[in-house]
């Protein structure tokens, strides 16, 4: 009789377990913080100043207009600095063709009276709205330079600070 009661008790316990369903392991929740820092995309996108043909010894200066391109600059004061190039200084820029040098200068204004350089000679401008665009650069090769024929080049580094 005891074994029959034990069997009935065991079957009853099994029936209760079956009705209860699967056992739960527990749950918890928290948050994942997601962040991103967006920086200004203000950048230089190139520039050029091409003088064309200079005749060795020509008496008149040769002027040219070039441009510096920039993109995605914020509303702010931005500064454009031009170094002296690979062959000279901001006060005495020079293009080279082999060992030969041809003097030239880069200016911030159309009258070619304000040299465009570094520090106090830099161009500072206020952008009133975020923008992309270009700045004109004004170049001059002084006349009277007797140099050998060839292709004269220089590389000027532009620094944009915003």
- pLDDT of residue 8 exceeding 60, the answer is no
What is the full DSSP assignment across 69-115?
A: EEEEE-SSEEEEEE---SSSBTTBEEEEETTEEEEEEEESSTTS-SB
Residue 85, domain member (yes or no): yes
Give the number of domains in the chain: 1
The residue-averaged pLDDT of 26-54 equals 88
Is the model more confident about 154 or about 21? 154
- Give residue 126's domain range: 43-161
CA distances for 106 relative to 21, 50, 87, 95, 155, angstroms: 85, 12, 14, 12, 12
The residue-averaged pLDDT of 141-150 equals 98
Quick one: pLDDT at residue 36?
Answer: 81
Range of weakest confidence among 40-49, 84-93, 136-145: 40-49
Per DSSP, the three-state class of 8 is helix
- pLDDT tens per residue, range 70-124: 999 988 899 999 999 999 999 999 999 999 999 999 999 999 999 999 999 999 9
The CATH number assigned to the domain holding 94 equals 2.60.40.1090
Quick one: pLDDT at residue 22?
Answer: 63
How many residues are listed for the chain in this entry? Answer: 162
Residue 1, domain member (yes or no): no
């Amino acid at each position: 009789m005891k074994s029959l009661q034990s069997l009935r008790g065991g079957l009853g316990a099994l029936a209760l377990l079956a009705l209860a369903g699967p056992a739960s392991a527990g749950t918890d929740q928290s948050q994942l913080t997601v962040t991103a820092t967006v920086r200004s995309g203000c950048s230089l996108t190139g520039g050029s100043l091409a003088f064309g043909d200079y005749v060795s010894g020509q008496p008149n200066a040769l002027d040219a207009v070039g441009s510096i391109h920039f993109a995605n600059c914020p509303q702010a004061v931005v500064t454009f600095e031009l170094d002296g190039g690979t062959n000279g200084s901001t006060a005495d820029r020079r293009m080279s063709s082999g060992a030969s040098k041809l003097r030239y200068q880069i200016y911030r204004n159309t009258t070619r009276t304000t040299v465009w350089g570094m520090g106090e000679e830099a161009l500072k401008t206020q952008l009133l709205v975020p923008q992309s665009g270009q700045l004109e650069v004004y170049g001059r090769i002084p006349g009277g330079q007797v140099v050998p024929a060839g292709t004269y080049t220089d590389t000027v580094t532009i620094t944009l600070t915003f």
